[in-house]
Amino acid sequence: MQTIFNTIKEIAFKIDHAIQTEDLGYCDSSNSSGEDQLKLDVKSDYIIEEAFKDVTLVKSLVSEEKEGVLHLHDEGKYTICYDPLDGSSLADVNLSVGSIFGIYEGELIGENLVASAYVVYGPRIELMTAVKGEKPKHYRALDGFFNLVCKEVALNEKGKLNAPGGTQQNWCDYHKSFVDDLFDEGYRLRYSGGMVPDLHQILLKGGGIFSYPGTSDVPHGKLRQLFEVIPFAFIYEQAGGQAINNKGMRLMELIPSHPHDTSPCFFGSNYEINKMKDAYGVKA
Ligand code: P6P
């Protein structure tokens, strides 16, 4: 897996350079989810594809920005599902954005995820990597290299941060009560509209909860299972937290019927997730 993580480190520096130097405008194309594509989305996708072309461990690539599967190496073991630049529309207002990588072995379902990683492009470039059975590892870039900051990232049982996603007027009543109750307990609102920095902050600041529920306008949620939800669920579970959907099911048990399927998702420390289960009536 280190070969794949090292390739992600190379990718991180190239995408960060593109963010710093390239045109932040839109292409005249849209991605598989029908979203307008930024030139940075396309460039980031190209950087990732080119980087993994030489890694024989990688059997195929599935990108959030494209339909279908790109086959690379017959002898490859892993399929990498990735969001090349999540939250890319935040780059033109100088907010942090990120890349997300899910490394799967076999069928593209939650239980076959064997490792994941994300990169945060912010005041510094930061990298989080996770493999089965180990706490996530946190790295920070300095002078062209990634240095290990923490080799065992762990969530507290209870945190202080609340990142409530989705259009509030379209939340159901019990979701609104759940979110408001946390604020009534003194939780701090931390939501930038970028999944990667928002989840990174909760992980590094000791805990809390990030929620992107199903809403009346988007009943199955907005975030994609293979590229965003499952890779972060893996990291949050490895960090001692939980990651579930609106039915209380582990997101690691998701079985997407289409590569671009989405899911309502809740990632957080145990106290907050258990509070959500109570609010949703899905406590085991
Ligand atoms: P909303 C960015 O577009 C993204 O896919 C995630 O990074 C982020 O968490 C979410 O959408 C934000 O969505 O509806 O709150 O703007």
Ligand 1 atom 10, closest CA: 193
User: What is the structure's pLDDT at 101?
Assistant: 98
Domain limits of the chain? 2-150, 161-280
Cα(199) to centroid of ligand 1, in Å? Answer: 12
**Which of 32, 170, 212 to mutate to test ligand 1, by most ligand atoms within 8 A of the CB atom?**
212
Cα(86) to centroid of ligand 1, in Å? Answer: 8
* Cα 236 to Cα 212: distance, rounded to the nearest angstrom: 15
Pairing of strands 208-212, 265-268: antiparallel
DSSP class of residue 281 equals T
**Which of 65, 92, 168, 195 to mutate to test ligand 1, by most ligand atoms within 8 A of the CB atom?**
195
User: What is the structure's pLDDT at 232?
Assistant: 99
Distance of CA 246 to the CA centre of its chain: 18
**Which of 223, 226, 229 to mutate to test ligand 1, by most ligand atoms within 8 A of the CB atom?**
223
User: What is the structure's pLDDT at 206?
Assistant: 84
CATH class given for the domain over 161-280: alpha beta
User: What is the structure's pLDDT at 69?
Assistant: 96
C-beta of residue 149 within 8 angstroms of C-beta of residue 140: yes
- The pTM of the whole model exceeds 0.85: yes
pLDDT digits (tens, 9 = 90+) for 45-78: 999 999 999 999 999 999 999 999 999 999 999 9
22 backbone dihedrals φ, ψ, rounded to 5°: -100, 170
User: What is the structure's pLDDT at 158?
Assistant: 98
Low-confidence ranges of the chain (pLDDT < 50): none
Radius of gyration of the chain (CA): 18
Task: Assign domain 2-150 to its CATH architecture.
Answer: 2-Layer Sandwich (3.30)
SS3 240: coil
User: What is the structure's pLDDT at 37?
Assistant: 82
* Cα 248 to Cα 149: distance, rounded to the nearest angstrom: 33
Mean pLDDT computed over every residue of the chain: 96
**C-alpha distances in angstroms, 78 versus 4, 168, 211, 251, 253?**
10, 38, 29, 20, 19
Ligand 1 atom 9, closest CA: 195
Q: At what angle do helices 2-21 and 39-52 cross, to 10 degrees?
A: 150
Cα(194) to centroid of ligand 1, in Å? Answer: 6
Strands annotated E in the chain? 26-30, 36-38, 58-63, 70-71, 78-86, 97-104, 113-121, 125-131, 137-142, 145-150, 161-164, 188-189, 208-212, 242-244, 265-268
User: What is the structure's pLDDT at 31?
Assistant: 76
C-beta of residue 103 within 8 angstroms of C-beta of residue 125: no
